[in-house]
């Protein structure tokens, strides 16, 4: 058998030799050799063994549906006291005007409520509790008026009190409730306004 080598002329670029580059010998850089060389198989397998696929794990998820709830917290709670405290209530002493206000039988008017509502602080819910409102009723006053502010919630609570309990809606009762709930500054201011 004789092998016939034909010279092939083409305008295509030659591709690099196939197989192991160490086997290519007698390469003259001046002469391009377009003859096909027999392929020599590499004794070392180049194919990597496929890694075994991990078995699927069973994952479980807990789903908790919470509805009609308020104040839910998931995670840690951090409380920072930055020293912004209100005046202690002990600094305001009972004066003669305050004692006179405690005994007053003047009916509570809308103007009194508007004045007092602007001076009641963060413990405004204590006023509602001392007026025998339930926590739910107090919270409802806040929810109904939270877009406007606490001042409006206090105003509506006191207005509701005067309408539903007119026999007790006197300045004396209001002043005692404010004093007992820790809102002493509004009592001092109201006594100065009423008894000039």
Please report the pLDDT score of residue 55 as a whole number.
73
Please report the pLDDT score of residue 80 as a whole number.
63
Please report the pLDDT score of residue 30 as a whole number.
57
Token duo for residue 11: 């305008």
Task: Name the DSSP class of 83.
Answer: S
3-class SS of residue 49:
coil
Report all structural domains of the chain as residue ranges with CATH numbers, in order of start. Answer: 89-194 (1.10.533.10)
Q: Is the CB of residue 125 less than 8 Å from the CB of residue 192?
A: no
CA dist 141 and 99 (Å) reads: 30
The pTM (predicted TM-score) of the whole model is: 0.54
Query: What is each CA distance from 104 to 99, 129, 170, 189, in whole angstroms?
Result: 9, 22, 7, 15
Q: Taking each helix axis from N to C terminus, what angle separates 184-194 and 171-180, rounded to the nearest 10 degrees? A: 150
* pLDDT tens digits for range 123-147: 899 999 999 999 999 999 999 998 9
Mean model confidence pLDDT for the chain: 79
Please report the pLDDT score of residue 35 as a whole number.
56
**Which residue is associated with the tokens 């209100």?**
86
């Amino acid at each position: 058998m004789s092998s016939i080598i034909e010279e092939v002329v083409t305008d295509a670029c030659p591709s690099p030799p196939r197989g192991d580059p160490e086997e290519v010998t007698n390469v003259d850089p001046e002469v391009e050799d377009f003859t096909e060389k027999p392929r020599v198989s590499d004794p070392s397998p180049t194919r990597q063994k496929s890694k075994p696929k991990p078995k699927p794990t069973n994952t479980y998820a807990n789903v908790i549906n919470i509805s009609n709830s308020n104040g839910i917290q998931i995670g840690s709670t951090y409380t920072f006291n930055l020293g912004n405290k209100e005046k202690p209530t002990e600094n305001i002493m009972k004066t003669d005007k305050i004692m006179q206000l405690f005994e007053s039988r003047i009916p509570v008017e809308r103007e009194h409520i508007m004045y007092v509502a602007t001076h009641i602080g963060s413990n405004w819910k204590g006023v509602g509790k001392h007026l025998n409102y339930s926590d739910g009723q107090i919270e409802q006053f806040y929810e109904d008026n939270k877009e406007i502010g606490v001042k409006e919630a206090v105003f509506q609570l006191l207005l509701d009190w005067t309408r539903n309990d007119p026999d007790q809606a006197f300045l004396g009762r209001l002043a005692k409730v404010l004093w007992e709930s820790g809102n002493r500054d509004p009592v001092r201011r109201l006594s100065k306004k009423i008894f000039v």
